[in-house]
Amino acid sequence: MSGYIGTPPVRPTIGTAARKYLNIFRASLVERMTYRGDFLLGTVLRFLPVMTTILLWEAVFQGSSKKEFAGYGRDNMIAYLLLIHISRMFSSMPGLASGISRDIRDGSLKKYLLQPLDMIGYLISYRAAHKAAYIATSALPYAGLFFVFSGYFSGFPDALTLLGYLLSLVLAFLIGFFFEACMGMVGFWMLEVTSLLWIVTTLSYFISGQMMPLDLVEGFWGTVIKALPFQYLAYFPAVIFLGKVSGADLVRGLCVQAAWVVAFGLMTRWLYARGLRRYSAFGG
């Protein structure tokens, strides 16, 4: 026979858990908005490499006899490079993997184990707040930039394409988060992951389409790169907005992108569970 002595423990409901992480989101948003000046300055500074890249491709088209490369004319190419920065605004997760690895190494991970708080749930709420604050503070500068370079865009996408574009940005955020979280979980098995993170980040810069459209890579390697999840961090949302992916191809691409979200989400949970089995909390 079993029973409780005194008041039985109250199990948290789904609504209670949702409110908990919503409160974390709100608190993190207030914290991040305190540094809106830093966000604004960072946004302005990010315009410098944008200008450099635009000038580079202007010189490429002026010095070449070709009018387009892999279906990208001068205007299309510049528009694509501008849209890449919107994609990365959602998918980039600076400091996430290194922060998880540091918490594992110095014992700070204990705070998630001793409190009724899921580490992954907390971090995704915190990062969502960070992105909301960043988008809110940088919306005006980016609007000004796109207004100045509006001549490079052939037009605004229709409602369905725009909906697909916005959905792809949300999915890009989730892929970016779970991928970086997986990299951080490597800290359970490796004492120092800085070099690994540098290699992966550098590789991701090229194969996610940040430097140039992935369509420029033809043949076997082009097929391999497009089979990887990295294209959904930058390239895929940009080509949706430009109308290069539409109809059945758009639906198929969004489904594959969502599948990568699920795959990385499950991988993050699995690595976290396996890592905790061998975790020894020292320090903190």
Is 252 inside any structural domain?
A: yes
pLDDT score of 239: 95
Is 247 inside any structural domain?
A: yes
pLDDT digits (tens, 9 = 90+) for 193-218: 888 889 998 999 899 998 889 999 98
Residue 79: C-alpha distances to residues 146, 205, 265 (Å):
9, 18, 32
Is 8 inside any structural domain?
A: no
The two three-digit tokens of residue 20, written as one number:
């908990």
Which is nearest to 241 in space by CA: 162, 173, 169? 162
10: pLDDT strictly greater than 50: no
Is 7 inside any structural domain?
A: no
Name the 3-class secondary structure at 78: helix
Is 283 inside any structural domain?
A: no
The pTM for the full model equals 0.83
pLDDT digits (tens, 9 = 90+) for 127-176: 988 888 888 777 777 788 788 888 888 888 899 999 999 999 999 999 99
Q: Within 10 A of 112 (CB to CB), how many other CB atoms are there?
A: 18
Q: State how many domains the chain has.
A: 1
Is 30 inside any structural domain?
A: yes
Name the 3-class secondary structure at 213: coil
Is 204 inside any structural domain?
A: yes
**Residue range(s) defining the domain that contains residue 97:** 14-277
pLDDT score of 2: 45
pLDDT digits (tens, 9 = 90+) for 232-256: 999 999 999 999 998 999 999 999 9
Q: Which residues of 221-241 are buried (b: 16+ CB within 10 A; e: fewer)?
A: eeeebbeebbbbbbbbbbbbb
CA distance 185 to 135: 28
pLDDT band at 53 (very low <50, low <70, confident <90, very high): confident
Is 259 inside any structural domain?
A: yes
pLDDT digits (tens, 9 = 90+) for 61-83: 888 878 888 888 888 898 998 89
